[in-house]
Chain A
Amino acid sequence: MRNYIIKRLFYSVIIAWGILTVTFILLRIGPSSPVDRYILNIAARGSDVESVRQAIEARYGLDKPLLEQYFDYMGNLLQGNWGWSFSASMPVMDLIGSHWIYSFQLILLSTIFAILLGIGLGVLSAVKQNTRFDYAASIFSFIGISIPNFWLGLMLIMAFAVNLGMFKTYYDTSYSIWSLENLRQLILPVLALGTGELAGYVRYTRSSMLDNLHKEFVTTARAKGLPERTVIGKHVFRNAMLPLVTIIMFDLGSVVFGGAYLTEIVFGIPGLGQVSFNAIFANDYAVVVAVTLISTFLVLFINLATDILYTYLDPRIRYE
């Protein structure tokens, strides 16, 4: 087990390094340079553009050969220095430090919402298989999977904020993160982001429960005279949850820069998604590489954690 974890960590570092390198090269061979936005200002003032460009590039080491820049960047990174954001004029870590909480709260709340409701509905519809409730739940989950979350967000804003006036049409950053008002204004974003995940969990829970409902150990449990609650709640449910752990963990990793970003855009939430995409448009490579790296490590960590968690949840699984 220990060897397995060490091997996986080693792989993780290699993968992260590969992704870092690809992102860095992609950004630095791109047609525009991070100093362009300064140059534009200077050109407007009528100064000598070329000399200013050279001065700024020399100041930040952007005039060196690409390979040298790459090694400089790697060297700084290994010392814990994530570089300088040109577009925000602050260290990358400060920029990320002040924005991650907005993404985190959105993802955390929508995941909790999706897991609780999704697993609940899934279990119920498996227990009541082929009833009206089951059909309704399965139609709902098909709709939830197929509805684009950014459009759902727009429709929610239109219905509840524009027409009914129950919410503000934008995310208000003046509230403190822990205040009730903040929680209230997250209702629509959480619904928009969580519905797709929720629908997925309903489907997976239902099919996983059905797989287990007709296994022999369930018949045994019933034959022992256990009450139905115990049979479903303990014997079926616990076994059915195993494959779901993977799916939920995978979702957690992938939602950060997929669904969450679009939701952030629609509701104007200044989270990491927005930060990274603004950085792309400003060719602010240090921010993009940092965010990509963080996301990569998150996914790799979650994958490893899932595999380790599995050995505890299911003692039959062993890694060599």
Chain B
Amino acid sequence: MSELKEQTRKKARLSVYFNKRLASYYWERLKKHKLAMAGLGFIGFLILLAVLGPFFTQDPTYSDFNIANMPPLGFSRQESVYDIKTDEFTTTVISGRLDHPLGTDSKGRDMLSMLISGARISLLVGLIATGIAIFIGSLIGVLSAYLGGWVDNVLMRFTDIMMTFPFFLLLVLIVFLFGPSLAIIVVVIGLTGWTGAARLIRSEALSLRTRDFITASRALGASDGRVMFNHLIPNVASLIIVMSTLSIPGVIMAEAALSFIGMGDPLSTSWGTILNAGQHTLDTAWWVAVEPGIMLFLTVLSFNFFGDGLRDAFDPRAII
């Protein structure tokens, strides 16, 4: 009997966070947003690429200088070689080959495998760092709004300080001091990127705090923890989801920018790293700079579209 009670209780607790009917209602609304669905489609494709891609492509770090700077399939480039014995230039046309469909870079590494490796890094960094940032942001936002008083004051002044910090400078500084590893990059972006979320969630929670259902649950004797976790957080959940989706692009860009200036993890191939190499071969091998940029752009665009669609789907006032 008590076991059954425990089960229903668990179910009830979960249903605060996940409601099947509500979820399908939001999904129906989201489906009408064409750009959001296109974004979701590309994100799905990217995840598939990142998970399955490495099984079908070669090692992204394998380099073969004999096939350096090979153009993508369907493109060709001319290469002039000076022969010192005959004192003549011989010009050969190099065209793309099927075994390197997206070409190779100046060290003869396969672009396709490098881009897939970059997709893994970007998604990994984007998801984990955003997770950390949103977790801290929600916690600080809700605590600050609900407890108020000196807690609110201290937390918000702390947020102010973090917000005023020149973000990218801090990022480069910490990565320089502690060494450029992927783990450090993820943690630092996560630990510095929560300020916007904290403020937004605080203001949302502040307006919820004075609502009748919160007062009612407190009058019924609910503890602070219960009010926060069963009433406040579920009601800002949609905001948290939208915020998370819309902060992923910023995180992905920050990682790419770090790798682009040479502060990325030297042991992994990310899109920024490829771009860094590609900026020196703009005249001979344009694809090395173009391809990772397009991937980065499409990824960021997709998350922006998807996040925008989510916001509209969650907003009861939005007409879809």
A positions within 8 Å CB-CB of B: 11, 14-16, 18-19, 23, 26-27, 30-31, 142-143, 145-148, 150-151, 154-155, 157-158, 162, 169, 254, 256-258, 261-262, 265-266, 276-277, 280-281, 288, 291-292, 295-296, 299-300
Contacts and interface: CB of A to CB of B under 8 A. Distances in A.
Nearest to A261: B168
A258 B290 contact: no
B283 to A, nearest CB: 5
Interface string B227-260: 0000000000000000000000100010011001
Given A154-B289, A262-B257, A280-B176, A296 B304 contact: no
Contacts of B297: 146-148, 151
Interface string B285-320: 010011001001100110011000000000000000
Contacts of A143: 301
Interface string B37-63: 000000000000000000000000000
Given A148-B256, A148-B293, A291-B166, 4 more contacts: A15-B161, A154-B279, A154-B282, A158-B289
Contact of A158 (B249, B286, B300): B286
B275 A19 contact: no
A154 B293 contact: yes
A299 B301 CA distance: 29
Given A26-B174, A154-B275, A280-B172, A162 B166 contact: no
B150 interface: no
Given A146-B304, A155-B293, A296 B173 contact: no
Contact of A26 (B177, B290, B296): B177
A295 B166 contact: yes
Contacts of A277: 169, 172, 261
A19 B173 contact: no
Interface string B154-190: 0001001100111111001110110000000000000
Q: Identify the interface centre among A15, A148, A276, A300: most chain B CB within 10 Å of its CB.
A: A148
Given A18-B161, A155-B293, A150 B177 contact: no
B173 A26 contact: yes
A148 to B, nearest CB: 5
Interface size of B as a range: 35 or more
Contacts of B172: 277, 280
Contacts of B293: 148, 151, 154-155
B216 to A, nearest CB: 32
B282 A158 contact: yes
A170 to B, nearest CB: 12
Interface of B: 35, 157, 160-161, 164-169, 172-174, 176-177, 249, 253, 256-257, 260-261, 275, 278-279, 282-283, 286, 289-290, 293, 296-297, 300-301, 304-305
Main secondary structure of the interface of B (DSSP, over half): helix
Contacts of A280: 169, 172-173, 176
A31 B173 CA distance: 12
Most buried by B among A151, A288, A291, A296: A151
A295 B161 contact: no
Contacts of B177: 26-27, 30-31
A257 B257 contact: no
A149 B161 CA distance: 26
A15 B289 contact: no
Nearest to B286: A158
Contact of B300 (A30, A31, A146, A261): A146
B188 to A, nearest CB: 12
A148 B257 contact: yes
B286 A145 contact: no
A148 B283 CA distance: 21
A27 B176 CA distance: 10
A23 B176 CA distance: 13
A266 B272 CA distance: 13
Nearest to A29: B177
A249 B139 CA distance: 28
Nearest to A31: B177
A26 B192 CA distance: 15
Contacts of A142: 35, 301, 304-305
A82 to B, nearest CB: 17
Contacts of A288: 169, 173
A157 B176 CA distance: 29
A27 B283 CA distance: 39
B169 A295 contact: yes
Given A19-B161, A162-B282, A257-B166, A150 B304 contact: no
Given A142-B305, A158-B282, A296 B164 contact: yes
A275 to B, nearest CB: 11
A157 B282 contact: yes
Contacts of A16: 164
B164 A148 contact: no
Contacts of B176: 30, 280-281
